[in-house]
Amino acid sequence: MFEFHLIELAMMLASAVRNLSRRSFSTSKAVSAQQLTVRDALNAALDEEMERDEKVFLLGEEVAQYDGAYKVSRGLWKKYGDKRVIDTPITEMGFAGIAVGAAMAGLRPVCEFMTFNFSMQAIDHVINSAAKTFYMSAGTVNVPIVFRGPNGAAAGVAAQHSQCFGAWYSHCPGLKVVSPYDSEDAKGLLKAAIRDPDPVVVLENEMVYGVSYPVSDQVLDKNFVLPIGKAKIMRPGKHITIVAHSKSVETAMLAANELAGKGIEAEVINLRSLRPLDSETIFKSVQKTHHLVTVEQGWPQSGIGSEICARVMEHETFFHLDAPIWRVTGADVPMPYAKTLEAAALPQVPDVVTAVNKVLGVK
């Protein structure tokens, strides 16, 4: 009898594993790949670029002796010392200005904001000094600086610590803006940002810092760099296109997985870059699927989804649409503190599934 129960238990475990693998996003190739957290991917990118170029340095609040508020800069102060990993006072306006000046003088600063909500204290330096100088100097003064840190909603930190600045910064000519989702994005885009001759805003997400994602040997290579301005098709599909960035890619993938169980194959696009925006990848996908839904955690008015809608409308791709585009966004309110209200203010998987069903006319 005991042996029978063991066999029965083994069969149940095998069935559970099979069901889990069916629900997973990963392919067999991805399952066999190595795992890397987003935090470690960012740390590796900083380390490799600081090792590669002595002009690269990191500054910000608690980045040195404390190893970073989120431990992204762990070990870098001990390895590179006080001159290249610099703890600053709590004054975003002050250290952002120092960083921009250093970039104008030929160094390559990486300026960390503990959250991009605090970058509002320094936005004059980001826009008026960093973004506009190359144009205003007739191309004679480059400003090779990276502004990076967590952006968008975290958990339980309310309105002043939860805002997405993707639309804000991608509105501004002179800036490049990237919004990584997984470990591959984080490493490849941060390295590209540090090497870029112009200012780049890297909008990370605190909620995925500790999440492990499968990565290939290529991603782990010191020479791995992703191009800024190129989106990635995370999941191919033929019925509808879902476009997202940052943590909303996860929401889109979960929704696509649920839709697949109902026979709807959604193509999921991870934007990776908000400025420049990879319109061509979106156009090609929509011309194939004839339907489009955008997903973002930011507010609806003048958002990333709004920009995508406008670009499709102004392009011949508009004539390939069989239904209006649908935006899934954060609620048009400051982020509530209460956990239940916070969840209601952010796009959830059922919201995306509902949007897809409405666009496709599925009841």
Torsion angle, alpha carbons of 157, 163, 166, 172, to 10 = -130
Q: Is 315 a catalytic residue?
A: no
Q: Which amino acid is at 352?
A: V
Choosing from 92, 112, 250, 342, which is the catalytic residue? 92
Q: State which H helix or E strand residue 250 sits in.
A: helix 248-260
Q: Are 277 and 311 in contact (CB under 8 A)?
A: yes
Distances (CA, A) of 236 to 270, 276, 286: 12, 23, 12
User: End-to-end distance of the chain based on CA atoms, in angstroms?
Assistant: 49
Asked if the bond preceding 334 is cis, omega within 30° of 0, the reply is no
Q: Is 92 a catalytic residue?
A: yes
Q: Strand 292-295 to strand 266-270: parallel, antiparallel, or no bridges (unpaired)?
A: unpaired
Count of helices and strands (H, E) across the chain: 15, 14
CA distance 353 to 359: 10
SS3 10: helix
- CB-CB neighbours of 155 under 10 Å: 11
Choosing from 125, 161, 239, 245, which is the catalytic residue? 161
CA distance 96 to 111: 7
Contacts of 270 (CB under 8 A, 6+ apart): 181, 185, 231, 232, 233, 234, 244, 245, 249
Tokens of 311: 């670009």
Residue where the block lists tokens 């590796």: 44
Give the residue numbers annotated as catalytic, written as ranges.
Answer: 92, 161
